[in-house]
Amino acid sequence: MKVLFISTLYPPHVIGGAEKAASQLAEALVRSGHEVAVVSLYPGANEIIEDRNGVRVYRLPIDNFYWPFGRKQKPKALFRLAWHIRDMWNHKAAERVGRILDIESPDAVHTHCIAGFSLSVWGEVKKRKLRLVHTLYDYYLLCSRSSLFRNGSNCEQRCLDCALLTSSKRRLSHLPDSIISVSRHTLDAHLRNHCFAGRRTTVIYNISDLARIADQQRSGVDRDADNLVFGFIGKIEEAKGIETLLSATTRLRLPNWKLRIAGTGLEGYVQGLSKRFADPRITWLGFTDAAEFYSSVDVVVIPSMWADPLPLVCVEGLHTGKALICAESGGIPEIARLAEVAEFFPAGDANALAEKMNLALMSPQRWREGGVRSPSALDAFKEDHVVEKYLAEYAFRSEEVPSSAHGGTN
């Protein structure tokens, strides 16, 4: 089978988990004997074609006012608005993608994150009567920021500007033949907003190829024997709940703890936090190898404020057998409940998080042991399982099963 991926970013251009998931699936399909091409955006001025681990990658310049990914400062509001208006239907991006579709002539097209392309690429796919599969990694169809998070809190109702800027997206959400979500929470959020009418929907988790991390964890790297070591890894920003976690450390009743923070963020923001929470038991690691991080901590804390669809850190924590303390936010609970030792707290509640951390400090040996409830619980993340699920979606025809079969999960 020949599959064409459309993904806003693709390694080595990486800012989050979606592009990692896209590349892992693409390369897994190639290993299974299938042909994969990818169309992605990059910050250059010319179109280029390259081979990456057996995947043919078309890298296109962005046809919008600026490159929005990984910026250290936000553009001015009017400039951002202009960007989002163009992203409602980007004719130039559609033209570029349409030309590649004609060159490649795939059996199926799989779109991942498509901010910067716009839904115009869906139109090009359906013009050619190709099967279209789309994976939900965020809330791009519902929110101009793709997060449903604004001014320090999750959006209970859609903002006026989001409603206007995404109105056409909901109307066009019927174009894909099959919708995949990386978590049940994210799929349900879209269904509640009347997306995907009459479309086939299902949940398929991302491939998690974490053998290196798990092997190093099993190698018995020495950790602090006198203290229970909590760990945070991810982008250091408000939406990830870093301030909730730091505030919780000021409420811990026992002294036998340390906190290791891995990740980067806006320089001024990170410096401000390190000054406000200048406890010597807190170590700011910056960008850190994931295997080294997990080998150095006992308990992984995932305090996300925003409704994170499927944070990679949660899956990594499971694979490395860590105990977890997680916010009840987004798709986090449905994954974290697979852990043998896990506690949950309301997102943004530093007092509640501190109580869970205090609970761990009172039974440090139990929390160091961690583990998963069942080894088979991790099967849904295995490469062969995920590839099989996606191949079924690429080849699916509506007459094969009744419509009542729609909406299944792993």
* Among 267, 335, 322, 274, CA closest to 294: 322
pLDDT at residue number 400:
47
Q: Digits of tens for pLDDT over the chain (410 positions)?
A: 999 999 999 999 988 889 999 999 999 999 999 999 999 999 999 999 999 999 999 999 999 999 999 777 788 989 999 999 999 999 999 999 999 999 999 999 999 999 999 999 999 999 999 999 999 999 999 988 888 888 777 777 777 777 788 888 988 999 999 999 999 999 999 999 999 988 999 999 999 866 556 565 554 455 677 899 999 999 899 999 999 999 999 999 999 999 999 998 888 999 999 999 999 999 999 989 888 999 999 999 999 999 999 888 998 999 899 999 999 999 999 999 999 999 999 999 999 999 999 999 999 999 999 988 887 888 999 999 999 999 999 998 654 444 333 445 56
CA dihedral 234, 240, 242, 244 (to 10 degrees): -150
Residue with tokens 């042909």: 35
pLDDT at residue number 159:
75
Residue 74: both structure tokens together? 């936000």
Widest pairwise Cα distance in the chain: 64
pLDDT at residue number 404:
35
Residue 208: both structure tokens together? 């998690």
Residue with tokens 């490649």: 104
209 Cβ contact partners less than 8 Å away, ≥ 6 residues apart = 24, 383
Distance CA 310, CA 137 (A): 8
pLDDT at residue number 152:
76
63 with 77: CB under 8 angstroms? Answer: no
251 with 351: CB under 8 angstroms? Answer: yes
Distance CA 95, CA 388 (A): 32
CATH code that applies to domain 2-207+382-405: 3.40.50.2000
150 with 163: CB under 8 angstroms? Answer: no
pLDDT at residue number 368:
95
Fold of 211-376: Rossmann fold (3.40.50)
Domain boundaries, the chain: 2-207+382-405, 211-376
300 with 370: CB under 8 angstroms? Answer: no
Distance CA 136, CA 181 (A): 5
Residue 388: both structure tokens together? 């099989």
pLDDT at residue number 211:
57
* Among 234, 364, 361, CA closest to 302: 234
* Among 6, 10, 40, CA closest to 23: 10
Residue with tokens 């994931």: 290
pLDDT at residue number 222:
56
CATH topology match: 2-207+382-405 vs 211-376: yes
pLDDT at residue number 215:
60
